[in-house]
Amino acid sequence: MKKRLVITLLAICLTGGAVFAQIAPLDRIEPACWWVGMKHRNLQLIVHGQRIADRTVSLEYPGVTLTEIHKVENPNYLFLDLHIAPEAQAGNFNIRFTRKGSKDISYSYELKKRNEQQPQGVTSQDLLYLIMPDRFANGDPKNDVVKGMQETALNRDSMYYRHGGDIQGIIDHLDYLQDLGVTALWLNPVLENDQPSASYHGYANTEHYKIDRRYGTNELYRQLASELHKRGMKLIKDLVHNHIGSQHWTMKDLPSKDWVHQWPVYTKSNFREQTQFDPYAAKADKQLMTDGWFDKHMPDINQANSYVRNYFTQSHIWWIEYTGLDGFRLDTYSYNDAGYMQEWGKVMKEEYPTLSFFGETFVKGMPNQVFFTEGNTIHRGFDSELPGVTDFQLLWAITDALTQKPGWDEGVARLYNTLASDFMYKDPMQQVIFLDNHDLSRFFSVVGEDMRKYKSAMAWLLTTRGIPQLYYGAEILMKNFCNPDGLVRSDFPGGWPGDRVNKFTAGGRTAPENEIFDYVKKLANYRKQHAVLQTGKTMQYVPENGVYVYFRYNEEETVMVIMNGSDKDATVETKRFAERLNGVSTGEEINTGTNIDLRNNIQVSAYTTHVISIKHS
C-alpha cells in the first residue's frame, strides 16, 4: 500500500489558520468546508499546491459527486466541481490526490449541517452604525502586532499606521451602542489585509476566508454576530467585489493571466460611472471604468472569469453560514461587471430571501444613482437585482440645505427636489441615508461646527425615509475634513487603555458632546419604538421662505418635521398643512417634551428643526 499523507481541513474551517503552508504538495483548498441542504447544490473548490494539476483526483461519499475537474494555465491549481445532492448528510470525506511515483495525499473535507438561523436583513426599521474597526476600540492589545505579517508598526500618532482597534473592542462596547439606539453594525472590511502599508482600512484584502489576526479570529467575528443577535441587533459585512490586495495569495501565484485585468502598464480606472449608462459612450471609456485598477495596490478582478465569480460568491455564502450575519454592504458597486453583480444578487436572493444588501454608489445625479438599483432596465435590458444603495443624492441635498442660502433650487429646496425623485426607485425605503462615512468629511465640520445645523441634520437623518446610518463618533461631535481621508478616521476617545478621556461615558464628554449625544439618543430610541418613523408613509410640502416641512404618518400616529434652513427666524402658518394635520390641535416636541399648539402659527428659530409627535384621536 502506498504511503498516504492525510491532512484535515477542520482546523482552517474553524480558525481560518493556514494549516497547509508547510506542505509542499498542497497549500490550500477553499472553501475549506461547506454545508448540506443548500438550495444551490453545486460547489467549486479551488485547490492550490505544487503541480497539483498533475495529480488524479477522486472522492467517495454518499450524495457527493465530483462532476468535473478543471485545469488552468498554472499547473499549481485545480478547480473541482462537486454536486451535493439533497440527501447528502453532514460528515467528513476524503479527497484523494494521486500521482505515479509520489505519495498520495488525502484531505478530510467536512460538510456541516446548515445554520438554522436565517439572516434577519437590515431594513428601514434599523439604525446602522458604521465602525472602522482599527479606530474604534482596542479590546485585546496582544494582537496589535502579529509576527509574520508585513505591516509590523503600530503608531496611533500617524493616520496611516494601524492603531490597534479590534473586534473585542467592539464587543466590549455593545452596551454603549445599544443604549444609543443602534440596531445594526456595519464594519469596514475585517478580512486579512496583509499589505505592507496602510492596511488599517481593510479594502485591499489578501484572504477571503480569514479574519485579519490583528482584529481577532474567525471565531471572535462569529461571537460578535452572536452577541449582537442576543441583543436583537444585526451585523452587516462589508464586501469588496471589484478588487483585491496586491499581496492576495492568488496574486503571488496567479491561477491564470485573466484572473485580474492586465494592462501593458499600470492603468487606473477613470472613475466615470456615466460610461455605464451613457448612450454615446466610447467602448474604451466603458472598459477603463470597469477594468482599470482602483489603485496600484488594488488589482482589478476579472469578473468575466467564471472561476473568479465562483470564488467570490462562494466565499460570501460561506460567511453567512459560518457567522449567521444579516446583510452586506457592497463596496465600489458601480465599478463591477454588471452581469456578474446581477448573477450574484440572484444567487443571494434565492439562497437567502431575508438577506439584505446595498451598494456603494459614490456618484452625483439622481439618474446616475438610480441606474444601479433594481427595477431599472433602461439601456440594459436586465435588472441589477440591487435593492438599495448608499443615498449620496440625499447627502448632497442635506449638505446644501444647511450650507446654502435658500432659493428656488437651493438650500432646503434640494431636499424637497431630491425626495421628489423617489418615483425612480422600486423601493425608496431600501436606500441607506447618512451624513458622513470613512470617505467623507465629518458633518459637524461641514456645517461649520454649528450645533443648530448639526441637530437639524440629525433630526432629518432619523426621521426621513430609508435606512439611517451613523458614522462612529458622530454622536460625540467628532470632526475634521477628509483631506486626506485619515483625518476623518481618528480614534474614538476612550477606546484604548490609558486614553486621557473616555467619551463612551457621560463623565468623559464635554457639555456640548453630551448635548448632542442625548439629542441623538432620544430621537434614535423614539424611532426604534415608533413604527411611524420606520415604515410610515411620507408627505412633503414645497419649501417656503427657507422652511421645509414634511410628515411621516401611518394609521396610528403622525410625526411632523419643520426644518428652518434660513439664517432668520421663521413663522410657520399651520393651516397650510390641514390635509395632514386633519384637525388635530396639539402635538409634542419629541426632544424637549414641549406641547405645540397646532392651531396657531409656530415660531422656528434660524437653522432649527422641530420634530413633533401628533397622536391620532
Q: φ, ψ for residue 336 (rounded to 5)?
A: -85, 165
Single out the catalytic residue among 27, 207, 238, 360. Answer: 360
Q: Are 248 and 68 within 8 A, CB to CB?
A: no
191 CB-contact burial (10 Å; exposed 0-12 / middle 13-18 / buried 19+): buried
Cβ neighbours of residue 385 under 8 Å, at least 6 residues apart? 341, 342, 344, 345, 346, 349, 374
Query: Which of helix, strand or coil describes residue 526?
Result: helix
Cβ neighbours of residue 437 under 8 Å, at least 6 residues apart? 130, 390, 469, 471
Single out the catalytic residue among 166, 212, 291, 331. Answer: 331
279 CB-contact burial (10 Å; exposed 0-12 / middle 13-18 / buried 19+): exposed
Question: Quick one: DSSP state of residue 345?
Answer: H
Q: Are 248 and 207 within 8 A, CB to CB?
A: yes
Distance set, CA 514 to CA 247, 286, 428, 597 (Å):
43, 49, 33, 29
Q: Are strands 547-553 and 537-544 parallel, antiparallel or unpaired?
A: antiparallel
Cβ neighbours of residue 341 under 8 Å, at least 6 residues apart? 241, 330, 333, 359, 384, 385, 386
For 534, the enclosing helix (H) or strand (E) is helix 532-535
Q: Are strands 432-434 and 467-471 parallel, antiparallel or unpaired?
A: parallel
Whether omega for the bond prior to residue 31 falls within 30 degrees of 0, making it cis, is yes
What's the alpha-carbon Rg for the chain, to the nearest Å? Answer: 26
Residue 360 appears among annotated catalytic residues: yes
Cβ neighbours of residue 229 under 8 Å, at least 6 residues apart? 117, 120, 324
For 8, the enclosing helix (H) or strand (E) is strand 4-8
| CA 488 to the chain's CA centroid | 18
Whether omega for the bond prior to residue 255 falls within 30 degrees of 0, making it cis, is no
For 12, the enclosing helix (H) or strand (E) is helix 10-15
Rounded CA-CA distance 2/379 in Å is 61
Residue 102 CB coordination number (10 Å): 15
Residue 403 CB coordination number (10 Å): 15
Distance set, CA 79 to CA 30, 201, 298, 480 (Å):
10, 31, 24, 48
Residue 331 appears among annotated catalytic residues: yes
Q: Are 285 and 319 within 8 A, CB to CB?
A: no
- Which residue numbers are catalytic? 331, 360
